[in-house]
Structure 1
Amino acid sequence: MKEQIYTNYRLQLPDQEILGTLVVRNGRIADIQPGMVSQGQDGQGDYLLPGLVELHTDNLEQCLTPRPKVKWPLDMAALHHDRELISAGITTVCDAIAIGDVLPNSARLTQFAPMIDAIDRAQQAGRFSADHRLHLRCELGYEHVYEIAERYANHPLLVLISLMDHTPGQRQFVNLEKYREYYIGKHGITPAQMDAFIQGRIADQQRYAEQNRKLLVELTQAQEVFLASHDDATIEHVQEAVESGATIAEFPTTLDAAKEAHQQGLQILMGAPNLVLGGSHSGNVSAMDLIERQLVDLISSDYVPQSLLQAMFLIVRQTEQPLYDIMRLFTLNPARAIGLDGDRGSLEVGKRADLITVHDDGIVPRLTAVVREGKRFA
């Protein structure tokens, strides 16, 4: 029987912190008790928490294209992506794979299948350090989004579908100047091309979005896959999400939308980069403002895996709430949002030994170990 003992750690339990000892046997938490023992790993008073659970990261895209016009070998990119996640304390991840885009020559129109295949290969071969699942990000204004999503409806790793609409003039980009700035800066569209580009995206949305939404909602209901809305900006957006059967509201862009989502019982997900940077890079609502109003249930690293741990301790310092309360936004709540809370997301006897240990010097919290199912990976 393989056993590990972690003693003299500040254990972050579901409803309290104790200075104590945690025992792992065969990859599961076997015992939790207050006080120290004379054997095992001495944590010297550092924190011990559940592994982080990530619902929405497109970090694989960045590993695949580390510079413009550079395409890294896919299996290598997937492994690099996985190592970045585990080194950030993420032990369970939903890889967000974009299906469709508003850009006519976007790599997102062709790389979704190779990316999904690479994730599946590595997961089955045991090459990954974190436990990977699939999250399909479906762009409603893309003509072929439904037929592609349908192809993966029975994929064993699929747990979440989100409905996106990046049409200019609404949701994330209600401010057209911010839209112009973003697409000119990130995607190289010239100012002279922007007006035609904007009109084309509006036409595509009017042509395809409503039917795609209807079909994708039916698909999630038939396959019992969790559904998320994305960038809700108005009360009407939230009501549409509720009628569609969504259970998660990703990145609401306004206070009104967040309030309505909370009132309607949706789990509200916000981005850790928004917290670390002190606000939204798109000029939308501040994540900290929503947290202080108790309107946030889930935190995602979005495009910076290392931001999760920093955001957790930042919230603790700013709100003066206990760490064991705040950590739920990063652990138990996201696990519950995709139906995995029965075996992970909290330090409880019988659950998987997905653990992180953290030293906090009051300036920058630092991971000292990452363990998944009892095995140390970082």
Structure 2
Amino acid sequence: MGAELVFTGGSIVLDDRLVEGSLAVTGPQIAAIDTGPSRLSRAIDLDGDLLIPGLIDLHTDNLERQVLPRATARWPSRSAMIAHDAQCAVAGVTTVFDSFCVGDLGFQEARTRTFVEGVADMDELSAAGLLKSEHLLHLRCELPAPDMEALFLPYADHARLALVSLMDHSPGVGQWGDVEKYRDLLRRDGLTEEEVETKLAQQRATRVRWRSHNRQVVLSKMQGRATVLASHDDRTLDDIAENAADGIRIAEFPVTMAAAQAARSQGMQTIAGAPNVVRGGSHSGNVSAADLLRAGAVDAFASDYVPAAMLEAAIMATTIADLSLPQAIALVTDHPARMAGLSDRGRIATGLRADLVRVRIYNGMPIVRGVWRHGERVA
């Protein structure tokens, strides 16, 4: 059988070079890559655009933004999932790790509902073939949360579970190492100064009570499994040492340069937030991802909360860190695929999945002009 889909007239971004040639797809796989143009009349003329692998997003809570487009306006869950999926696909993200918060620290009780309903919607819509991107499950385990264990265990054997991260959003650690910023967060929620201090004391006590127990629950349950483990918002050398000792091999969004570099020295791989790059800094005042990139301390980007940020951050990396285009694209394709153990995607090579994105660079901005997953156009 001949190729069912052929691309020509553009630059194909391989893992080590660009090829000005043509690419053929048969069924769901890449069948051939040629250095010359195709003469088939039905070939898709890329008109000088790039053809890159489909993006792989290891961490996105973009669904939460669709569920709560306004603080007091909750959107129907299934509709929110469809909108979230469409935003990922049009951004070129063909593999999505939906990152659900498991455990409540008393701030956003609605997140638990988003988690439970979101997984159900993911399962139903995926089984019906109605999602444009492939959706996998990423459980973000809030270690100090009293309800974490009860929420985590029913999903620990889920067929789509591909990543588990250990996080701690208590005051004075991780993302909230600056306690005054944490106080500001509470004040914005309308708490009085007395209520703020009471809340801080409660959070610290809760952490002492539950963190170690919940950490062992997760580590014990995941021991010996292929599911990838990550840490979240590492701040100190002690954070990295603890995680490395427990066999965790991914540091997700380290919040200091010291933590990121220590992770690399321990053989861990690091994920940086793409919005941090696009915005020019962290939204919570932590280390700049651009600085991490220049220091060689970034292995992959994740969208965090803006799917379109991934590709833009990758293109910006060619300037920020003087990376070649293949090196930059690998930050959102090949590297996250390898980190997650997905050997069938992330690169353009014969036999791999035909997850492909057509991109035009316009005044330095990447514009997605077409997306194919398993050889079928989805955006």
TM above 0.5 = yes
Q: Corresponding residue for 1:19?
A: 20
Q: 1:74: Cα distance to partner?
A: 1.0
Alignment of structure 1 residues 160-171 onto 2, 5 Å: 160-171=163-174
Alignment-derived partner of residue 314 in structure 1: 316
Give the match for residue 63 of structure 1: 66
Distance 1:155 1:255 in 2: 35
Structure 2 partner of 1:95: 98
Q: Does residue 168 of structure 2 align to residue 174 of structure 1?
A: no
Task: Give 2:82's match in structure 1, choosing from 61, 79, 84.
Answer: 79
Contact residue 64 and residue 114 of structure 2 kept, 8 A: no
Give the Å deviation of 1:268. 0.2
- The CA deviation at 1:181 is 2.7
> Contact conserved, 1:227 with 1:246, CA < 8 A, in 2?
yes
* Aligned mate of 1:116, from 101, 115, 119: 119
* Residues 173 and 5 (structure 1), Cα distance of their counterparts in 2 relative to 1, 3 Å cut: same
Deviations 1:131-167 (A, max 9, x none): 0000000101111212321111111000111011000
State which of 26, 41, 44 in structure 2 corresponds to 1:41: 44
Amino acid at match of 2:109: S
- Residues in 2 aligned to 1:278 and 1:145: alpha-carbon distance in whole angstroms: 34
Alignment partner, residue 375 of structure 2 = 374
Please name the residue that 1:51 is paired with. Answer: 54
In the alignment, is residue 350 of structure 1 matched against residue 332 of structure 2?
A: no
Identify if the C-alpha distance between structure 1 residues 47 and 209 changes in structure 2 by more than 3 Å, giving closer, same or farther. Answer: same
Within 1, Cα distance between the matches of 2:346 and 2:264?
22
Looking at structure 2, the residues matched to 353 and 109 of structure 1 have their Cα atoms a distance apart, in angstroms, of 35
Q: Is the 8 A contact 1:8 1:35 kept in 2?
A: no
The whole-number CA distance in structure 2 between the counterparts of 1:172 and 1:35 is 50
Aligned equivalent of 1:199 = 201
Q: 1:272 to 1:189 in 2, by over 3 A?
A: farther
Aligned pairs (5 A) from 1:187-226? 187-226=189-228
Aligned length in residues: 376
- Cα deviation 1:90-133 (Å, max 9, x = unaligned): 00011001011222562123432111111111111111000000
Q: Which of the numbers 323, 326, 339 marks the counterpart of 1:324?
A: 326
Residues in 1 aligned to 2:273 and 2:95: alpha-carbon distance in whole angstroms: 17
Give the deviation of 1:317 after TM superposition.
Answer: 2.2
The match for 1:5 is: 6
Deviates more, 1:100-109 or 1:231-240: 100-109
- The residue number in structure 1 matching 2:161 is 158
Bigger drift between 86-95 and 361-370 goes to: 361-370
Q: CA contact under 8 A between 2:56 and 2:96: conserved in structure 1?
A: yes
Letter in 2 for 1:207: R
Name the % identity: 40
State the alpha-carbon separation in 2 of the partners of residues 352 and 242 from structure 1.
32
Q: Which amino acid aligns with 1:255?
A: M
3-state DSSP of counterpart to 2:75: coil
Q: Classify 1:170/1:362 alpha carbon distance in 2 versus 1 (closer, same or farther; 3 Å).
A: same
Per-residue CA distance 1:187-209 (angstroms, 9 max, x = gap): 55455532111111111101100
Output the TM-score relative to the length of structure 2. 0.96
**Tell me, what secondary structure is at the counterpart of 1:133?**
strand
Structure 1: gaps (5+ residues):
none
Matched AA of 2:72: K
TM-score normalised over the length of structure 1? 0.96
Structure 2 residue runs of 5 or longer lacking an equivalent are none
Letter aligned with residue 263 of structure 2: A
Q: 1:132 and 2:132 equivalent?
A: no
Aligned to 1:276: 278
SS at 2:363's partner residue?
A: coil
Bigger Cα displacement from structure 2, 51-60 vs 190-199: 190-199
Indicate the SS of the match to 1:76: helix
Residue 21 of structure 2 aligns to which amino acid in structure 1? G
